Chain A
Amino acid sequence: MSANELPPTSGGGAAAAPLHTGPASIHGADGGTAGTDHSGEGVWSRAWRTLRRNPVAIGGFVIVALFVLVAVLAPVLAPFGPSELPGRAEIRPTHIPGPSSDYLLGLDRYGGDVLSKLIWGARASLLVGILSTLFGLAGGMLLGLLAGWFGGWVDFAAMRLVDLMLSVPSLLLAVSIAAIAGQSQMSVIVAIGVVQVPIFARLLRGSMLSQRGQDYVLAASALGLTRRAVTMSHVLPNSVGPVIVQATLTLATAVIEAAALSFLGLGGGEPSTAEWGRMLTAAQQELAVAPRLAILPGVCIAITALGFTLVGESLREALDPRNRTRR
C-alpha cells in the first residue's frame, strides 16, 4: 500500500457533500439537444455503426425482429386461437396425429394445433421476457443508483441485500418468489424479474464507482457542478452501457427461465396453455411417441434466446472501451 494507491475520491469526503438544486438544473434541461446539434460521432452512434456492419449482430437482429413480428401478428398468423383444441376428436391414447395439411406441424395430446400454439407461445414469451426484464432493470437500477449515489451505509445495506439474494441459486429464488406470488403468469414475471434485480444493481453500482474515479468526473465537480448534476450528466450516462448489454442478454435468460418455471408447474393456467415451456413439459410424456412435440418448442426457445444473445454480445463488443479508441 503506497500513498498513490489511495482512492482518488474517497467515499467519505465526497459522499458527505449535500445534494442541492443549484445551477445544475440549467445543465440538465436541454443537455440532449447540445449533443445532436454538433453531431460528430458519440459513443452510441459509433456503437450503432459498428453493429450495422457486424454480421453476427445482423443475424441477431433478424431473429429478434422475426420473433417480435410473429408475437405481434399472432392473431393474423395463427390458424387457430390460443386455447382452441380443433383436433380433440382425433387424439387417441396411443396415437397423436403428425403433420398434415390441416395441421402443418401436427397436433399435441390435447388436440391443439402445434403451429398455432407455437405462434401464440411467441407472444407469451415476448411478454414474459420484456416485462420481467423491465422489472429487473427498474429494480436493479434503483437499488444500484441508491448505492452508487449515496455511498456510505446506504451502499452497504443495498449491497448486503444483493449478496443475500445472490446467495440463493437463481432458480430457487424464482421458485420461492413465485410461491408467494401465487399461480399466474404475472407471478412468473415478478419472480424472474426479482432474480435479475441484484445482478443489475451490482453492475450499475460497479460501473458508477469506476466512472466516479475518472478525472473527468473530478473535473466536472471542480466546475462547481453539484453531485446530482455530475451523476446525472456524467457518471450515469457513462455507466449504463454494461447495464443495457446485460438487459439484452437478460431477455434471453428470461425466456429460458420462464420455460423452466412452467416446467416446474408454476405459472398457473391449463396444461394445454399455448406457452413454450408448458408445451415442452407436456411433451415429456410423449418423448418416445412424438419427439417433435418437445423439439419444436425447445428449438423456438433456443432460437429466440440465441437472437437476444447475439444482439447483446455484439452490443457489448461495440461498446467495449478497448475497441473504442482508435490507435
Chain B
Amino acid sequence: MLRLVTQRLLLLIPLLLGLSVLLFAWVRALPGGPVTAMLGERYTPEAAAEIEREMGLDQPLIVQYGKYLLRLIQGDFGTSLMSGRPVLEEFLTKFPATIELTVVALVFAIGVGIPLGYLAARRAGSVVDHSAVVVSLIGVTVPVFFLAFILKYLFAVELGWFPTSGRQSATMVATHPTNFYVLDGLLTAEWDAAWDALVHLILPGVALGTIPLAIIARMTRAAVSEVQNADYVRTARAKGIRASRLRTEHILRNAMLPVLTTIGLQVGLLLSGAVLTETVFAFSGIGSFLAEAVFNADYPVLQGFVLLIAVTYALVNLLVDVSYGLIDPRLRRQQ
C-alpha cells in the first residue's frame, strides 16, 4: 500500500511539470502577452517596461521557465491583481469553504445516489427504478447554475427556509481558527455558529451534488444489476446464506468497486460545478473567487489556481485508488 502511494506521488511530478509548462505557455499566449495580463487595468507603457525588466522577460524562454518553476517550488504562485495578496494565500484561505461545500455535496450525492441506484437495480421496473431514471436524467441535463437558481428561488426567496447567500449570516459573530466554519463552530463550542454555517451549506450543497448524485445512482444501478447476476452470487445463494449477508457482503461490496471509481471522477466535476454554484450563492470559496478572477482577467490567480486544483484533484484520485485497494484484494500488492 505504501508503495502504491509513493509510486503515485512520484507519478504526480511529471504531470505537474507538464502542467507548469502548459501554464507557462498559456500566460505567454494570452492576448497582449504576460505583461498586459499581469498589469490588467493598471497598464501603462512605463509600468510594462519596468515589469518586463524585473521579470526578465527579455531573457530566453527556457530561462524564464526555469525561474517560473523555481518560484513555484518555493510556493510563490504570483500575486492576485484583484486583491494584491499572494495567490497561494488566497487559495488557502478560500479552500476550506470549498472543501466544506464539496463534502456536503458528496455526502448528499453518495447518501442518496447509492441507495437509490441499489433499490432501482433490486426492483427493476418498479417505481423506484423509474424515479431513479428520472433523477439521473435531470442530473445530466439541467445546468448546475440553473438548478442553483431554482433552488435559491424556491427555498430561499419564496419559502425562506434557507439563507439566500454567503457562508454565514452577517449578524453571526464567530471566531474562525481553521476557516472551516462548521468545524470552527464545533471547536469553539459556538453551536449556533456551526448550525448557521451548516444551514448555509445545504442549498449550494444540494445544487452541486445533484449531477454526481445522478451519475452515482446510475452507476450503482448498473453495477448492482450486473453483480446480482454474477455466478458467485448464485453460488453464494446455493450455500444458503442469509439474504442480508448476501446483499451487503457479496452484492453491495462488489458493486461498490466501479462506483468508487465514479465517485473519484466526480471530484473534477464538483470543482467545476463549485465555480458556478458558489457564484450563484455568493459563497466565498475558491470557485466564486475563480469566477471573479475570470471576470476581472486576474490571470495570476487563474494560473495558480489551475495548478493547485490539479494537485488537489490528483491527490483525491490517489485517495480513491487507495480505498479501492482496501475493497479489492486483487489490487493489493502482495508482500
Contact = CB atoms under 8 A, between A and B. Distances in A.
Q: Are chains A and B touching in the complex at the 8 Å CB cutoff?
A: yes
Interface stretch (A13-21, A163-171, A205-213): A163-171
B137 interface: yes
A263 B146 CA distance: 10
B323 to A, nearest CB: 20
Contacts of A309: 137, 140-141
Interface residues of A, number: 40
A287 B149 contact: yes
B70 interface: no
Contact of B306 (A172, A259, A294, A303): A172
B140 A305 contact: yes
A182 B31 contact: yes
Interface string B291-333: 1001101010010011001100110000000000000000000
Nearest to B297: A179
Interface stretch (B22-30, B86-94, B110-118, B194-202): B22-30
B313 to A, nearest CB: 6
Nearest to B280: A284
A72 B271 CA distance: 36
A298 B143 CA distance: 8
A196 to B, nearest CB: 14
A319 B229 CA distance: 21
Interface string B275-301: 110011000000000110011010100
A85 interface: no
Nearest to B271: A169
Interface string A260-284: 1001111000000000010010011
A260 B18 contact: no
Given A175-B302, A266-B294, A294-B153, A180 B143 contact: no
Contacts of A260: 143-145, 276
Interface of B is mostly: helix
Interface string B127-148: 0000000000110111111100
B69 to A, nearest CB: 16
Contact of A167 (B15, B157, B279): B15
Given A266-B294, A288-B157, A167 B313 contact: yes
Contacts of B294: 175, 179, 264-266
Nearest to A174: B272
B268 interface: yes
B150 interface: yes
Contacts of B157: 287-288
A182 B257 CA distance: 42
A295 B149 CA distance: 9
A291 B30 CA distance: 38
Contacts of B19: 164, 167-168
A32 to B, nearest CB: 35
B299 A168 contact: no
B167 interface: no
A85 B273 CA distance: 33
A256 B145 CA distance: 10
B221 interface: no
A160 B19 CA distance: 11
Given A172-B306, A182-B31, A160 B141 contact: no
B269 interface: yes
A186 interface: no
A289 to B, nearest CB: 10
A252 B144 CA distance: 14
B150 A263 contact: no
B124 to A, nearest CB: 15
A167 B302 CA distance: 15
A302 interface: yes
A194 B152 CA distance: 32
Contacts of A310: 137
Contact of A287 (B26, B30, B152, B276): B152
A301 B143 contact: yes
A252 B140 contact: yes
A180 B29 contact: yes
Interface in A292-327: 294-295, 298, 301-303, 305-306, 309-310
Interface of A: 160, 163-164, 166-172, 175-176, 179-180, 182, 252, 256, 259-260, 263-266, 277, 280, 283-284, 287-288, 291, 294-295, 298, 301-303, 305-306, 309-310
13 contacts: A169-B272, A171-B272, A172-B275, A175-B290, A256-B143, A259-B145, A259-B146, A260-B143, A260-B276, A287-B152, A302-B141, A306-B137, A310-B137
Given A169-B269, A172-B306, A287-B152, 13 more contacts: A168-B306, A172-B271, A172-B272, A172-B309, A175-B302, A179-B294, A179-B297, A256-B141, A259-B143, A260-B145, A265-B295, A294-B150, A301-B146
Interface of B: 14-15, 18-19, 22, 26, 29-31, 137-138, 140-146, 149-150, 152-153, 157, 268-269, 271-273, 275-276, 279-280, 290-291, 294-295, 297, 299, 302, 305-306, 309-310, 313-314
